[in-house]
């Protein structure tokens, strides 16, 4: 389902600092962070549908998404993982791309999408839920934000917990350099579950309970499901980009970092 915490235009060293957990079935074929064919897009890749949950480009464009938790989904819907790729391949501004997406947003299952362009310092949040309502396009304000499986900054248990822990670590480092691996270990590995009273009540309670922690681990009839990768993406004011990923490969946790300049 994925969850992300990020600070946007509110840190002296990093116009954007982002942490994201990707939740998926462990047996779903996936490629870790790497430059895609052509060398313009950097990110992990879903080998089933071909898209991504988080990626960036050499031009300083960033896109990431989460699914919206809902009881019923459309099996014939377009793959949400295509949306970040389409943005990164386009020349449109985040808002222009979002507005163009309005005409076909209903063809996807529920999504939350963040689109950013570092060169123009613009970022928008896009969602096609609730069903039947016009697509939501919202400028993202400077500050700390958390995106889970409801609206941006929704007060879900895991989102509030992540915001609190993320903010505390940012305060610890102050205006200085941030140790990304420490942030990943201290913030994104939390397995604390929500009280039943704090669950949203959208799906079966046992499923919601299993998904209510920042780091997810659950056995299902379709195989093990949960957090199988954590990414930390930083973009400095100088244009230096660092993309760190800790990912699961054949039951072994591995690490990879890719650096480049916009």
Following DSSP, what letter does each residue of 153-187 receive, concatenated? T---HHHHHHHHHHHHHHHHHTTS---HHHHHHHH
Q: Which CATH number is 70's domain given?
A: 3.60.60.10
Do the beta carbons of residue 127 and residue 112 sit within 8 Å?
Answer: yes
Provide the β-strand partners of residue 108.
Answer: 78
Instruction: For the chain, list the strands marked E by DSSP.
Output: 3-8, 16-25, 30-35, 41-46, 54-57, 61-67, 111-117, 122-127, 136-139, 143-147, 217-220, 223-235, 240-249, 252-261
Burial of 179 (0-12, 13-18, 19+ CB in 10 A): middle
Give the residue among 155, 135, 162, 133 at the shortest CA–CA distance from 200.
Answer: 155
User: 110 in helix, strand or coil?
Assistant: coil
Provide the β-strand partners of residue 23.
Answer: 227
Give the per-residue pLDDT at 162. 98
Buried b (16+ CB within 10 A) or exposed e, 49-78: eebbbbbbbeebbbbbbbbbbeeeeeeeeb
Give the per-residue pLDDT at 144. 98
Give the per-residue pLDDT at 38. 83
Q: Given the DSSP bridges, would you call strands 61-67 and 54-57 parallel, antiparallel or unpaired? A: antiparallel
The rounded distance, in Å, linking the Cα atoms of 158 and 146 is: 9
The rounded distance, in Å, linking the Cα atoms of 234 and 13 is: 10
Q: State the number of CA atoms in the 13 A half-sphere of 128 facing the CB.
A: 24
pLDDT, averaged per 10 consecutive residues of the chain (262 residues), comes to 95 97 97 94 97 97 97 93 98 97 95 98 97 94 97 96 96 92 94 94 94 97 96 97 96 96 96
Give the residue among 3, 23, 10 at the shortest CA–CA distance from 217.
Answer: 23
User: 79 in helix, strand or coil?
Assistant: coil
- Please tell me the total count of domains within the chain: 1
Give the per-residue pLDDT at 132. 85
- Give me the count of residues in the chain: 262
| Domain housing 27 | 3-261
Give the per-residue pLDDT at 47. 96
Give the per-residue pLDDT at 139. 98
Give the per-residue pLDDT at 78. 97
Give the per-residue pLDDT at 56. 98
The rounded distance, in Å, linking the Cα atoms of 123 and 201 is: 31
């Amino acid at each position: 389902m994925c969850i992300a915490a990020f600070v946007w235009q509110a840190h002296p060293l990093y116009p954007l600092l982002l942490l994201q957990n990707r939740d998926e079935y462990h047996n779903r074929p996936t490629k870790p962070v790497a430059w895609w064919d052509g060398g313009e897009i950097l990110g992990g890749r879903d080998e089933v549908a071909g898209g991504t949950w988080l990626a960036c480009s050499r031009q300083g464009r960033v896109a990431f998404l989460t699914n919206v938790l809902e009881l019923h989904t459309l099996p014939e819907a377009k793959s949400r993982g295509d949306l970040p790729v389409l943005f990164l391949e386009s020349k449109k501004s985040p808002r222009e791309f979002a507005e163009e997406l309005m005409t076909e947003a209903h063809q996807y299952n529920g999504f939350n999408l963040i689109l950013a362009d570092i060169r123009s310092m613009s970022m928008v949040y896009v969602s096609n839920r609730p069903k039947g309502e016009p697509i939501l396009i919202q400028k993202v304000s400077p500050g700390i934000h958390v995106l889970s499986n409801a609206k941006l900054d929704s007060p879900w248990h895991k989102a509030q917990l992540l915001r609190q822990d993320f903010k505390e670590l940012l305060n610890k480092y102050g205006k200085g350099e941030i140790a990304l691996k420490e942030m990943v270990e201290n913030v994104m590995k939390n397995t604390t579950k929500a009280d039943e009273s704090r669950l949203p009540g959208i799906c079966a309670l046992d499923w919601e309970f299993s998904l209510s922690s920042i780091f997810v681990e659950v056995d299902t009839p379709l195989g093990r499901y949960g957090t199988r990768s954590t990414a930390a993406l930083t973009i400095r004011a100088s244009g230096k980009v660092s993309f760190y990923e800790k990912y699961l490969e054949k039951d072994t946790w591995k690490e990879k970092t890719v650096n480049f300049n916009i």
